[in-house]
Structure 1
Amino acid sequence: MLFAAPLFVALALVTPAAAEERTVPQSRTEMQLSFAPLVKKVENAVVNVYAERSVERRSIFEGDPFFEEFFGQRMPNRSEKQSSLGSGVIVGANGIVVTNNHVIEGASDIKVALADGREFESTVVLKDERIDLAVLKIKGDVKFSTLPLGDSDAVQVGDLVLAIGNPFGVGQTVTSGIVSALARNQVRSGDFGFFIQTDAAINPGNSGGGLVNMNGELIGINTAIFSRGGGSNGVGFAIPANLVKTFVASAEHGNATFDRPFIGATFDAVTSEVAEALGLDRARGALISRVQAGSPAEKAGMKPGQVVTAVNGIAVEHPDALGYRLTTVGIGGTAKITVIANGKQEELTLALDRAPETTPRDERLIEGRNPFSGAVVANLSPRVADELRMPTNQTTSGVVVTQVNRGSPAARIGLQPRDIVIELNGAPVTTTETLEAMVNENPSFWRVEIERDGQRIRQFFR
């Protein structure tokens, strides 16, 4: 194969030039060494995160015609307090804490408890459901102990690590293990999967705690347990510290949302069959299946059929790894993309920017006596599509449903967020203004066509 040598050169670039020498215990004395000094060094930076939220319990009579008529369709629901417990890591002396988003999601009151028992109120600076990270700011004019962020790209399989958490009511917990795998994906649903895998026991309350290397550096935020019973006897996963760095930097710059780079291309996994068909020596990389016109991918020279094998000289194992690598480069940066096609290797320069709002979203709540009443709609653009986590291979123009109010006519006919409204009574729906004008005409029947997950659905109503 003519391309075997260039591919070997590209993969050789991923080996860390300054990797530290690892050694195994050489004597009985070394086998009896303790992690205690390391734990003492980092324990004050690992905290408990206590989040309290109000949850409304729906009445068991909701939907019953008799009781809805008696109460005027306002059923007597009740609210109750729920709390969640997790861990966090202080990464800024001014009280910046990193934890998992699921620990604080929906919380109205968040407290942080230090290892010495002190408690502080905190506020959410930035959170993101898709990568399950959140940044908190502790209220208080205190200088806090911190855990330095390490380089997760320097982590190797077999490295010794500690998983440290502080679940409230239990106290601080420390478990040891090794890094058992890198670049793990398909661990949970989300924007992309790229995790450090460890056999160190990660208990449920330790979500948001730290995965620490032998230098006392944070190399990951513990986030998931994979076991049949949900206990800590399975495999644990951590979000790499390099992604945490990018996320914290976004929070410190005052960003309201965490933006991922907009590429404008669709990627598929390289299976063994695809690798054989393309003449690759192994199933590795991200296959470009579609490139949007005018997108950063097209401007960089990316084409369908190419396989992305590396970003900035670091190997790409799968499409999720590509998303991770580009996200850690950050908005405003550029990435050197290594691609292979027809046995030839090429390096492209990709500019990284946030998804554009090519058409003003003009978000509107549809009201009145019509099937769309209770739906919030917006003009679709790459920016809106990214926020709604819509596939990049879907159209980026038209009108999309962003929210459906519970119990509304829109909910009753089955409208869902991410539905794209194509036609109404045979006329194309191009903007939210057009849709609102159409429904206000109040026709005697409704013929609706929507696109959902790439499929067209037609419905009729009177």
Structure 2
Amino acid sequence: MSRQNHTIVYFLAWLIIGVFFGFAALLIRGDINFAINKLDISNNATISANKNTHRGFSDAVMKAAPAVVSIQTIIWSEPDANNQNGEKFTQRFLGRNSPHRPTKQADTSSGSGVIMQNNGYILTNYHVIRQKDEVRVRLSDGRVAKAQLVGSDPDTDVAILKINLKNLPSLKIADIKKLKVGDVVLAIGDPFAIGQTVTQGIISATGRTRVSQNTYENFIQTDAAINPGNSGGALINTKGEIVGINSNIFSSSGNFQGISFAIPIDLALHVAKEIIQYGYVVRGWLGVEGQELTSQILRSVELDSMHGILITDVDQNGPGDLAGIKRGDIITKINQQKILSTNDILNMIAAGRPGDEFIIEGLRKRQSFMTKAVLGQRPVMSR
């Protein structure tokens, strides 16, 4: 019996030794490998993916929304004597000779604005506050304050208000140069005066012109829903930084149809700085009007092709008139820069300051000419 046990032990020992060396050989050849590291990596990737699961844009909204305000404008007028229903209502509750009878009635409209500095400066659209006797601002925390108009610039549809409240939030400014078509943006405002609302879209285009009554246009186009009341509100990126001031929509009905426009924040801030400092925007002025060259115009002056602007009107005694520019001239260069569109000449002149000297080149009756113009201050537009 003991000999049989000895044989079994001997067999098991050699079996274990054989399995051990066989397993070792397979490991050396690479036929077997441990997946512990891969499992750890896989688990880590899963955990990381779960952490980065898209949570929407609530963080961006929480950063920006407190600095977006609702604006109410009030126009006071005399009560309508022909409003019999209103008169009956007043007599019923106040009596015919009550001293509390209303002496004026209020016509209100609404819009939005953005707190740009924590000392109370608010940026909005000019058309939001254009007609007003009184302006009131409601903050996202419920506070309400009367606002004073610091100044406005109808040429860009920008206005600056001031309120006297403390502990005001403000927005971080985006680098507008990094803005690209396709970027996700969020519009924050108070449409139809129903309360602060956020809508989402993308940047559809940049540099849009000829889509409004503004003299100077460089709009950001987006498909984020913007409706009446959103004007003056913020267009932000997914970091909660402001990229533009929502301004107007392209619509046949007056309501949102998928195309809306915002004033780039760099332009709006430049205008705001000028208004706060001077009360108006300082711009160069040449005192000429023109139109872009068409094939018909080129044929009329017997030219095959050319870049430039045809001068159609010259203000008497304006800088252009004093420089000798005449109707029918074609301006081709300003300060050695080619003029390709009316926007080119508008922006170039506006970027100058009163007193700056500009070298103007062009054609007059098919003959080249060059003149020097001293810019004036562009008259303040009213509309």
* 2:60 is the alignment partner of 1:35: no
- The equivalent residue for 1:135 is 160
Return closer, same or farther for 1:188/1:259 CA change in 2, 3 Å cut-off: same
Q: Deviation at 1:308?
A: 5.2
Which amino acid letter does the alignment assign opposite residue 249 of structure 1? K
CA distance in structure 2 between the aligned counterparts of 1:298 and 1:30, rounded to whole angstroms: 64
Which has the higher Rg, Structure 1 or Structure 2?
2
Count of residues paired in the alignment: 312
Q: Deviation at 1:246?
A: 2.7
- The equivalent residue for 2:276 is 252
SS at match of 2:266: helix
For 2:261, which of 214, 233, 237 is the aligned residue? 237
Which runs of no fewer than 5 residues in structure 1 stay unpaired?
1-26, 61-77, 356-382, 390-462
CA distance in structure 2 between the aligned counterparts of 1:311 and 1:157, rounded to whole angstroms: 32
Return closer, same or farther for 1:302/1:175 CA change in 2, 3 Å cut-off: farther
* 2:117 is the alignment partner of 1:95: no
Q: Deviation at 1:171?
A: 2.9
- The equivalent residue for 1:210 is 234
Which amino acid letter does the alignment assign opposite residue 115 of structure 1? S
Tell me the alpha carbon deviations over residues 302-325 of structure 1, each in whole angstroms, 9 at most, x when there is no partner.
Answer: 775435578997x97642454345
Which amino acid letter does the alignment assign opposite residue 162 of structure 1? L
CA distance in structure 1 between the aligned counterparts of 2:340 and 2:53, rounded to whole angstroms: 35
Query: Equivalences for 1:400-439 in 2 at 5 Å?
Result: none
Native 8 Å contact 2:155 2:215 kept in 1: yes
SS at match of 2:271: helix
- The equivalent residue for 2:151 is 126
Which amino acid letter does the alignment assign opposite residue 235 of structure 1? I
- The equivalent residue for 1:431 is none
Q: Deviation at 1:341?
A: 6.0
Tell me the alpha carbon deviations over residues 183-224 of structure 1, each in whole angstroms, 9 at most, x when there is no partner.
Answer: 333323343444222211112111111122345433321111
Return closer, same or farther for 1:296/1:246 CA change in 2, 3 Å cut-off: farther
Q: Deviation at 1:50?
A: 1.7
Native 8 Å contact 1:53 1:107 kept in 2: yes
- The equivalent residue for 2:250 is 226
TM-score by length of 2: 0.65
Which amino acid letter does the alignment assign opposite residue 88 of structure 1? G
Q: Deviation at 1:298?
A: 6.4
CA distance in structure 2 between the aligned counterparts of 1:270 and 1:86, rounded to whole angstroms: 39
Name the structure, 1 or 2, with higher relative contact order (CA <8 Å, separation 6+).
2
Tell me the alpha carbon deviations over residues 107-130 of structure 1, each in whole angstroms, 9 at most, x when there is no partner.
Answer: 222222222222222211112444
Tell me the alpha carbon deviations over residues 8-51 of structure 1, each in whole angstroms, 9 at most, x when there is no partner.
Answer: xxxxxxxxxxxxxxxxxxx9998946322222222221111122
CA distance in structure 1 between the aligned counterparts of 2:185 and 2:131, rounded to whole angstroms: 32
CA distance in structure 2 between the aligned counterparts of 1:161 and 1:249, rounded to whole angstroms: 25
SS at match of 1:205: coil
CA distance in structure 2 between the aligned counterparts of 1:183 and 1:312, rounded to whole angstroms: 23
- The equivalent residue for 2:66 is 44
TM-score by length of 1: 0.55
Native 8 Å contact 2:201 2:222 kept in 1: yes
- The equivalent residue for 1:378 is none
CA distance in structure 1 between the aligned counterparts of 2:298 and 2:50, rounded to whole angstroms: 48
Query: Equivalences for 1:288-327 in 2 at 5 Å?
Result: 288-291=311-314, 295-297=318-320, 305-307=329-331, 318-320=341-343, 322-324=345-347, 326-327=349-350
Return closer, same or farther for 1:387/1:237 CA change in 2, 3 Å cut-off: closer
Percent of paired sites with the same residue: 34
When structure 1 is superposed on structure 2, of 92-101 and 261-270 the one drifting more is 261-270
CA distance in structure 2 between the aligned counterparts of 1:253 and 1:41, rounded to whole angstroms: 28
Query: Equivalences for 1:60-139 in 2 at 5 Å?
Result: 79-139=104-164
Q: Deviation at 1:154?
A: 5.5
For 1:263, which of 270, 281, 286 is the aligned residue? 286
- The equivalent residue for 1:182 is 206
Native 8 Å contact 1:91 1:149 kept in 2: no
Which amino acid letter does the alignment assign opposite residue 230 of structure 1? G
Return closer, same or farther for 1:387/1:169 CA change in 2, 3 Å cut-off: closer
Return closer, same or farther for 1:59/1:120 CA change in 2, 3 Å cut-off: closer
Native 8 Å contact 1:194 1:320 kept in 2: no
CA distance in structure 2 between the aligned counterparts of 1:240 and 1:338, rounded to whole angstroms: 29
SS at match of 1:82: strand
CA distance in structure 2 between the aligned counterparts of 1:239 and 1:337, rounded to whole angstroms: 30
CA RMSD of aligned residues (A): 4.2
CA distance in structure 2 between the aligned counterparts of 1:295 and 1:238, rounded to whole angstroms: 33
- The equivalent residue for 1:353 is 376
Which amino acid letter does the alignment assign opposite residue 212 of structure 1? I
Return closer, same or farther for 1:57/1:280 CA change in 2, 3 Å cut-off: farther
Q: Deviation at 1:54?
A: 1.0
Native 8 Å contact 1:334 1:349 kept in 2: no
